């Protein structure tokens, strides 16, 4: 069987392995965080604030992380970011009060932003345009696989001890950081064959792409809009509103939430590599259009029906669309970048985080004030707006 990493730089496999280790650890600690916060005698809102603090600090520190990448290079910032998350997580497991836990999780969000921006920037820099979609899909599959495996172990560890998952997460992060720092020593940019100068040296001096240069390109702006829609629909509304819709809107047992998420995750995992190849062969623009359209139709189906088979079909469609939205916009950013582009990647990542923050708030307000259907329809509208931006963008893949 042909390896999906065939013909790709070694760094892609290393970054995918790092993604698995990071995602497994995050999945292990996720079930324990709210319960551990509640053990200090705080309410549900305060317990949720521990999770929000991590996401908020990721968002506000991403641009700073991008500047550090441009200044010191991806490998150093990647290892440093993972190290910050590892230390803060281990100390969080030792926390003796709620404020300590809240502050340490916020510090972890800063390290997470540094890791995400540096890893993504490095991935885009070492892969040429002909393989960028496939490489993005493999990198995302690492997070998806880790995200599926982690919560299984996390549930058992949380039953045994509320502090143990934090220590396991810290160890997994140390392993991830060691992998990244040890195996990414020779990371170098791969010039695109279509644009490379035959008389230029094999390893030219590292260039840098400014945010102003990237933003002037309509394809980059479309990618940012698409990533905002991805954060809103896949990371925000899907995680926050679907469980409530199953139990309160469809009046089903919580187990069907798990089944729906499984349908979505399996569909996305199976199609990530396929979507990556489509992105590299057919182009970034049609892939974003397909992803936003299919995912948006999935949310329209959620809004129109409370029938269980329709729910499972809609969740599968969201996963299928997510496979294309998880690869194509990132490939556009890689096409626009020349050399390092920490701030370019940071703003792209911030758009997803912003969607993940605002989506649950807006959709949750609509679900409370109007209906679940209206919340899902506004999510579909966000995705269709992303599709419209993709229709108007120029193709960034150089053929």
Domain(s) of CATH 1.20.1250.20: residues in the chain: 10-183, 211-392
> 248 exposed, middle or buried (CB, 10 Å; 0-12, 13-18, 19+)?
exposed
Specify the pLDDT at position 182: 75
Candidates 114, 398, 96, 355; CA nearest to 235 is 355
- Please report which residue ranges of 30-97 form alpha helices under DSSP H: 32-38, 44-72, 74-93
Specify the pLDDT at position 192: 45
Print the SS3 string covering 368-387.
Answer: HHCCHHHHHHHHHHHHHHHH
The CATH architecture of the domain made up of 10-183 is Up-down Bundle (1.20)
Specify the pLDDT at position 206: 61
Contacts of 392 (CB under 8 A, 6+ apart): 218, 222
- What are the CA-CA distances from residue 61 to residues 1, 40, 248, 326, 347 (Å)? 42, 28, 36, 22, 11
User: Of the ranges 18-32, 175-189, 194-208, which is most confident?
Assistant: 18-32
Per-residue burial over 119-147, b if 16 or more Cβ lie within 10 Å, else e, is bbbbbbbbbbbbbbbbbbbbbbbbbbbbb
CB atoms within 10 A of CB 116: 23
Per-residue pLDDT, averaged over 169-179, amounts to: 85
Specify the pLDDT at position 323: 93
pLDDT 10s digits, 29-71:
877 877 788 888 887 667 777 877 888 898 899 999 999 998 8
Please give the model's pTM, rounded to 2 decimal places.
Answer: 0.82
Per-residue pLDDT, averaged over 206-229, amounts to: 91
Specify the pLDDT at position 191: 47
Residue 70 near residue 125 (C-beta atoms within 8 A):
no
Per-residue pLDDT, averaged over 84-105, amounts to: 93
Specify the pLDDT at position 16: 86
The CATH architecture of the domain made up of 211-392 is Up-down Bundle (1.20)
């Amino acid at each position: 069987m042909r390896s999906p990493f065939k013909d790709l730089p070694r760094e892609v496999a290393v970054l995918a392995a790092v993604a698995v280790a990071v995602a497994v650890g995050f999945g292990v600690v996720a079930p324990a965080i709210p319960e551990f916060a509640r053990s200090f005698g705080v309410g549900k809102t305060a317990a949720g604030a521990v999770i929000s603090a991590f996401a908020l600090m990721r968002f506000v520190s991403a641009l700073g992380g991008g500047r550090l990448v441009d200044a010191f290079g991806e490998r150093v910032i990647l290892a440093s970011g993972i190290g910050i998350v590892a230390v803060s997580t281990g100390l969080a497991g030792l926390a003796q009060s709620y404020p300590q836990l809240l502050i340490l999780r916020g510090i972890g969000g800063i390290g997470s932003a540094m890791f995400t921006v540096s890893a993504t920037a490095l991935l885009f820099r070492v892969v040429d345009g002909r393989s960028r979609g496939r490489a993005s899909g493999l990198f995302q599959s690492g997070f998806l696989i880790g995200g599926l495996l982690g919560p299984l172990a996390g549930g058992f560890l949380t039953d045994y001890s509320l502090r143990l998952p934090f220590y396991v997460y810290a160890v997994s992060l140390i392993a991830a950081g060691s992998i990244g720092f040890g195996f990414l020593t020779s990371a170098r940019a791969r010039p695109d064959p279509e644009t490379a100068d035959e008389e230029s040296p094999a390893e030219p001096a590292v260039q840098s792409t400014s945010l102003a240069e990237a933003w002037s390109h309509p394809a980059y702006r479309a990618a940012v809009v698409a990533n905002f829609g991805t954060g809103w629909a896949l990371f925000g509304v899907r995680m926050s509103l679907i469980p409530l819709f199953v139990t309160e809107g469809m009046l089903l047992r919580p187990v069907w939430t798990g089944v729906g998420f499984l349908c979505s995750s399996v569909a996305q995992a199976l199609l990530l590599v396929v979507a990556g190849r489509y992105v590299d062969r057919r182009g970034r623009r049609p892939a974003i259009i397909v992803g936003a359209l299919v995912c948006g139709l999935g949310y329209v189906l959620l809004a129109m029906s409370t029938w269980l088979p329709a729910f499972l079909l809609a969740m599968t469609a969201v996963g299928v669309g997510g496979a294309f939205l998880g690869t194509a916009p990132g490939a556009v950013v890689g096409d626009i970048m020349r050399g390092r582009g920490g701030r370019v990647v940071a703003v792209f990542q911030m758009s997803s985080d912003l969607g993940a923050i605002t989506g649950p708030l807006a959709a949750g307000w609509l679900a409370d004030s109007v209906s679940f259907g209206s919340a899902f329809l506004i999510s579909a509208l966000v995705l269709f707006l992303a599709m419209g931006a993709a229709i108007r963008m120029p193709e960034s893949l150089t053929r």
